[in-house]
Amino acid sequence: MASPEFNLIEQFFTHATAQRDDVVLGIGDDAAIVNVPSGYSLAISVDTLISEVHFPKETPPQAIGYKSLAVNLSDMAGMGAKPVWATLALTLPNNDSLWLTEFSQGFSELAHQFGVQLIGGDTTQGSTLSITVQIFGLIKKDQGYLRSAAQVGDLIYVTGTLGDAGLALKHWQENLKPTTDESQFLRKQLDYPEPRVTEALALQGLVHAAIDISDGLVADLSHILDRSQVGATLHTDKLPLSLPFKSLVSKTDDLMLPLTAGDDYELILTIPQIHQNRVQQIMRSFECDLTCIGAIEKQLSLRCLDGNKKIINIKQHGFDHFNET
Ligand code: ADP
Ligand code: MG
């Protein structure tokens, strides 16, 4: 007789995602077997989400399923890799089939959207809900977007808008319910971030360095600067902000969110100036905006300028500049 664990896997995961020709053996054996096409390298990344650490307890299971894959797809986007396979390690406090139904809906919806097949995993019981997703992606040989590849003169671009997820999280922590269209938009940005995989792949051959924004623009751009041994100037008046963000940002403190808050899962891309027009042309076919916010420079470290080209001091808890106004 099949064990409850086996039934659970069969019911919720075996057929839940895309079915790919390059999977020789998927869920059901001691290990999965896959074929990596010649001329490609494998990009591998893993992320764990723990209840109360990475998401509030009351997060809808569908959003948890979606986000646990989305954050991994975003890592693939940051590498310029095409995500193809995933594994899923779940630790569950109990065998709650309603929770699992909704979780697997969120997970599989996104997996189908990006043609990713779930090829294996592990299911265990434990006191704290924890989800680990490992993602596998394909990169054409030597075409990856490395953090170390930014060059002096590159323009710095970001996809989408910044600060939405950070403001939603703040509202959540302040116990503000998302009752208006604007606050619901922000909450959706937090729970259902859109991984920029397609956009990243469309720009192949035009990008030097890239990273996805999980810890905040300044922190993540600094990783590129450190690894590439370069500096940069950012024009903070150019930061792309959504209309809901602008309408709901109330405290001056919140104005630092687009620079310092995480969870947006947008991309930072450094692109040589000669590709500027081509990049803008390609991005016209996407709904997602791509905004130039600065440039890579020889002088080390990061300089953030306001609209009057005055340097803003970014402190952990806010901008001096914004606190003055
Ligand atoms: P083993 O005892 O060999 O580790 P398991 O009983 O843990 O095998 O898993 C049986 C099969 O189901 C394996 O192919 C495994 O990869 C897969 N599996 C287990 N849990 C999950 C999960 N949460 N998601 C996807 N596949 C899973
Ligand atoms: Mg196992």
The tens digit of pLDDT for each residue in 255-306 reads 799 999 989 999 999 999 999 999 999 999 999 999 999 999 999 999 999 8
When mean pLDDT is compared across 5-9, 50-54, 208-212, 262-266, the lowest value belongs to 5-9
DSSP state of 148: G
Q: How far is the CA of 196 from the centre of ligand 1 (A)?
A: 29
Closest atom of ligand 1 to CA, residue 90:
23
Per-residue pLDDT, averaged over 55-81, amounts to 95
Query: What pLDDT is recorded for position 324?
Result: 40
Per-residue pLDDT, averaged over 41-59, amounts to 92
CA–CA distance, 72 with 47 (Å, rounded to integer): 7
Q: How far is the CA of 124 from the centre of ligand 2 (A)?
A: 8
Q: Which of 8, 9, 97 to mutate to test ligand 1, by most ligand atoms within 8 A of the CB atom?
A: 9
CA dihedral 218, 223, 224, 225 (to 10 degrees): 80
Dihedral-angle region of residue 169 (phi above 0 means left; psi in -120 to 50 means alpha; beta otherwise): alpha
Does residue 317 register a pLDDT over 60? no
State the pLDDT confidence band at 2, using cuts at 50, 70 and 90: low
Pocket around ligand 1: residues whose beta carbon is below 6 Å from it? 5, 9, 13, 27-30, 88, 90, 118, 120-123
Closest atom of ligand 1 to CA, residue 118:
25
Closest atom of ligand 1 to CA, residue 12:
24
The tens digit of pLDDT for each residue in 115-129 reads 999 999 999 999 999
Backbone angles phi, psi at 276, to 5 degrees: -50, -50
> CB of 111 within 8 A of CB of 77?
no
Residues 6 or more apart in contact with residue 154 via CB below 8 angstroms: 208, 209, 270, 271, 272, 273, 295, 296
CB-CB neighbours of 251 under 10 Å:
9
Residue having the nearest C-alpha atom to atom 27 of ligand 1: 121
Q: How far is the CA of 28 from the centre of ligand 1 (A)?
A: 7
Does residue 42 register a pLDDT over 70? yes
Closest atom of ligand 1 to CA, residue 88:
24
Q: How far is the CA of 46 from the centre of ligand 1 (A)?
A: 17
Q: How far is the CA of 9 from the centre of ligand 1 (A)?
A: 7
Query: What pLDDT is recorded for position 319?
Result: 37
DSSP bridge partners of 269 = 157, 210
CB-CB neighbours of 40 under 10 Å:
16
The tens digit of pLDDT for each residue in 68-80 reads 999 999 999 999 9
Query: What pLDDT is recorded for position 318?
Result: 35
Tokens found for residue 181 = 């269209």
Tokens found for residue 176 = 């503000």
When mean pLDDT is compared across 23-37, 117-131, 170-184, 217-231, the lowest value belongs to 170-184
The number of the ligand nearest the C-alpha atom of 29 reads: 1
Helix axes 181-191, 61-79, angle to 10 degrees: 60
CA–CA distance, 176 with 53 (Å, rounded to integer): 20
Tell me the average pLDDT of the chain. Answer: 92
Dihedral-angle region of residue 184 (phi above 0 means left; psi in -120 to 50 means alpha; beta otherwise): alpha
Q: How far is the CA of 43 from the centre of ligand 1 (A)?
A: 22
- Percent of the chain exceeding pLDDT 70 equals 94
Task: Write the DSSP string, 210-243.
Answer: EEE-SS-HHHHHHHHHHHHT-EEEEEGGG----H
Task: Write the DSSP string, 165-209.
Answer: HHHHHHHHHTT----SHHHHHHHHHHHS----HHHHHHTTTT-SE
Query: What pLDDT is recorded for position 320?
Result: 38
Pairing mode, if any, of strands 33-34 and 267-271? unpaired
Helix axes 97-113, 61-79, angle to 10 degrees: 30
